[in-house]
Structure 1
Amino acid sequence: MRTADRRIALGLYRTGPTRHLLEGALEQGVTDLDTAFNYHHFASHRALAAIADDLLAVFTISTKVGYFPDGHDLDPARLRVAVERSAEELGRTPDTVLLHNPESSVDGFATACATLLEMREAGLCRNWGLSTWDPRPLLDADWEIPRPDVAMVRAGLTVSAGILSAVDELVDRARIAELWGMAPFAGNADDSIWQTVDTSTFLASGQQCSPLQAGVAAAFAIPEVTRLAVGTSRVEHLAEAVDGSRLEVNTETVTVYRALLRERATVSAGAPSRKDQ
C-alpha cells in the first residue's frame, strides 16, 4: 500500500472536540473525524455542531451506533432512531455509520447489518459497516450479511495474534471492501513502553522518526488499513501522527513479526485457537 493511500482520522473517543483542535486538524490535512452516538455522554454530535458547524461540511465524518443509555442494543428500530438523531444533531448526513462493537450482541448482528444497508439506500448515510474491538465472538456465530463498505478494527503493535487472525477471517468472510484501524497505542501514546521499544525496526531503512511516528506507520501495516483513527487533544500530536503515516514500512519485518506472534500464541495455548491471548 502506498503512503499516499493512508489517511489519519481524528478520533473523538477520549477527546472532547474544540475549535482549536478541529482547525488544527484541517491545517495538517486531516479531514476525517471519527465519533459515535454515545461518546461524551451521548453529546459528541451536539458538541461538534455547537463549536464548528461551519467546518463540518469540510470533514468526512464516521460515527457509530449500538450503545444506548441502558446498554448495548442492535434493535433495528433503535438503530434507525440513533442514525436519524445523529444526522439531526450534526446538521448533516454522516458519511459512514458503523455498528458499534456488534460482538456485544451477536444474535442481532445479521439483522443490524441489513438495517444499516437499508439506511444507506434511504440516504441516511453514504457508507455502512462495523467497528469491532474483538471480532472473535462474531466468527463463532452463523450469519450471512450484505457486504459492508468498511470495517474498523484495532491496529498496531499492541494487537494480539488472535485478534489479528480474527480480523483476517472477518474480512474474508464478510467480503469487507475497506479496512480502517483504531487505537494504535491502546489508548496511551504517552506510555513509557513506546520509549523503550525500538519501533523503528518496522520501517524501511534510512528514515528518521520519533517512536510515535514509527508506531503509527506500523499500525497501518498490522493489519493493513487505509485509515487510522488517532485520539488526541493536541494538534502537535496529530501532526506527528500525520508525519508517521508517510513513513515506509519494511513489509518483510511485518511478515516475520506476524509469524512470530502466531507461533507464540500457538505455544502459549498448546494448540491453534481464536481465544489465544
Structure 2
Amino acid sequence: MPDVGGASWDPRPLADIDLSGLPRPETLMVRAGLLVGVEILDATQAVRASWNPTTVWGMSPFGGSTTQTVWETFDPRPFLHGPRDGHSWTQAAFRIAFHVPAVDAVAVSTDNPAHLRELTEALHLNINERAADRYHRHLRQQRHG
C-alpha cells in the first residue's frame, strides 16, 4: 500500500475535527518558521498529536518570500546558539524553522543554486532552544492578552 501524506497551510480546521477515522499519514507537512502565528502552531501540535505521523515536514520558512519587508527589520540570528558572525539572516530563519514547530525536515522552493547552497550550509548551525521556547511562550501570552 502506498504511503499517505498530508499538507496543510492552515491546520486549524483539522484540529477541530475527529481525525481518528481518517488514514494516518506517514508524513505531515505544515508551515514552519518565525512568521507562523501561534494559532497555527497550536493547531499543528493538535493535529500532530491526533494523527501521530511518522515524520513532520515544515514548509515556507520565510513566510512565502525572503523579500518580505519584515525581513528588512527583523534579524533572526539571536535564535542561533554560539557565534553568529558569518551567518546570514536567511540561514538563521531557515534553521529556526526546524524548531518552530519541531519538524524533521523543511521544504523550500527556489530556482537559485546559491540560495539553496546557503540554506544547506545552515544545517550545521545550532538553535538557541531557550530563546525559541521563550518566543513561543511570548506568542501565546500575546494571544491571551
User: Normalising to structure 2: TM-score of the pair?
Assistant: 0.92
| Match of residue 223, structure 1, among 83, 101, 119 | 101
Paired position in structure 2 for 1:58: none
**Structure whose CA Rg is larger:** 1
Runs of 4+ in structure 1 off by over 3 angstroms are none
Q: Tell me, what secondary structure is at the counterpart of 1:263?
A: helix
Amino acid at match of 1:205: G
TM-superposed deviation, 1:233 = 1.6
8 Å CA contact retained: 2:4, 2:24: no
Amino acid at match of 2:96: A
Q: Partners in 2 of 1:169 and 1:142 — Cα distance? A: 11
Amino acid at match of 1:256: R
| Match of residue 237, structure 1, among 84, 99, 115 | 115
Calculate percent identity across the aligned residue pairs. Answer: 36
Q: Partners in 1 of 2:125 and 2:134 — Cα distance? A: 19
Q: Tell me, what secondary structure is at the counterpart of 1:231?
A: coil
| Match of residue 55, structure 2, among 166, 173, 178 | 178
User: 1:79-94 to 2 correspondence within 5 Å?
Assistant: none
Paired position in structure 2 for 1:147: 24
Q: For CA contacts below 8 A with separation 6 or more, give which structure has more relative contact order.
A: 2
| Match of residue 210, structure 1, among 88, 111, 116 | 88
- Aligned residue pair count: 143
Q: Partners in 1 of 2:10 and 2:69 — Cα distance? A: 25
Amino acid at match of 2:95: A
* 2:143 equivalent to 1:265: yes
Q: Partners in 1 of 2:13 and 2:69 — Cα distance? A: 32
TM-superposed deviation, 1:168 = 0.6
Q: Partners in 2 of 1:261 and 1:223 — Cα distance? A: 13
RMSD (Å) for aligned C-alpha atoms: 1.3
Q: Partners in 1 of 2:120 and 2:15 — Cα distance? A: 33
For residues 86-126 of structure 1, give each alpha carbon's deviation from its aligned partner in whole angstroms, at most 9, with x where no partner exists: xxxxxxxxxxxxxxxxxxxxxxxxxxxxxxxxxxx1xxx4x
8 Å CA contact retained: 1:207, 1:247: no
* 2:6 equivalent to 1:130: yes
Gaps of 5+ in 1: 1-120, 268-277
8 Å CA contact retained: 2:75, 2:89: yes
Q: Tell me, what secondary structure is at the counterpart of 2:81?
A: coil
* 2:131 equivalent to 1:253: yes
8 Å CA contact retained: 1:220, 1:245: no
For residues 133-172 of structure 1, give each alpha carbon's deviation from its aligned partner in whole angstroms, at most 9, with x where no partner exists: 1111112223313332110000001100000001011111
8 Å CA contact retained: 1:195, 1:211: no
